[in-house]
Amino acid sequence: MRDNSLIDRAKPVLLLAEDNALIRRLLAASLDDDAFTIVAVARGEQAIEAVLQRSPAVAVLDIYMPGKTGIEICRTIRETPATRNCVVIMLTGSSEAEDRALALAAGANSYLTKPFSPAQLRTLVHNALSGHRSAGYESNDVYSSGSPQPSASSGEEADK
C-alpha cells in the first residue's frame, strides 16, 4: 500500500484561498493536476495556517475574505522565509486601481479579476510552478477579464 501523505508532501503545494464555496470548487476542479497538491481554504486565518504549515509554491488569493484579507495573507507569505519565493496570484472581483496597487505593493506577482478564464489561470499557475524556485521571480502581471491571455513563452506584462 502506498503512503499518499509522503507522495503529497513531495509535490509543490498550490494554496487556493476563496470564501465563495462555488468559486473555490470551480478553482480546484479547473486546476486539478497531478503536478501539485491543492490546499483549498475558505477563511483568511486558514490560509495563514496553510502558509505556515505547508509552504505553498503558488497561492491564489481572493482579496476580500472573512478574517484576514488576501493582502494580509500575501504579506505573511513575503515575510515568512520558507514562502518568500511563493508566487502569489490575486484572483478577485475588484478591478479598483487602489486594490491592484495594494496587492502588488504587498508582493503579489499577478492580479486577475473575476470573471476569469480558467485557461488563463491554469497558464499563470503552470508558468509559476515552472519558475517559482528561480531567484527573483517577479512578473507583476495584471489581467482583467478582457486582457489577453498570457502564453507559456511570454514573460511580458499584459496591457493595463
pLDDT, tens only, 95-129: 889 999 999 999 999 999 998 889 989 998 988 88
The pLDDT value recorded for residue 9 is: 61
Q: What is the pLDDT of residues 42-93, one digit of tens each?
A: 999 999 999 999 999 999 999 999 999 999 999 999 999 999 999 999 998 8
**Band of residue 8 on the pLDDT scale cut at 50, 70, 90:** low
Matching residue, cell 498570457: 150
- Domain range summary for the chain, segments of one domain joined by +: 4-143
**Residue 141: strand, helix, or coil:** strand
Parallel, antiparallel, or unpaired: how do β-strands 110-113 and 87-92 relate?
parallel
Helix (H) or strand (E) segment spanning residue 91 = strand 87-92
Instruction: Give the whole-angstrom CA distance, residue 38 versus residue 140.
Output: 23
**Region 4-143: CATH code:** 3.40.50.2300
Q: Please give the pLDDT value at position 32.
A: 87
pLDDT at 10: 75
Neighbours of 37 (CB within 10 A): 19
Cα angle 112, 42, 2; round to 5: 100
Which residues are registered as beta bridge partners of 142?
111
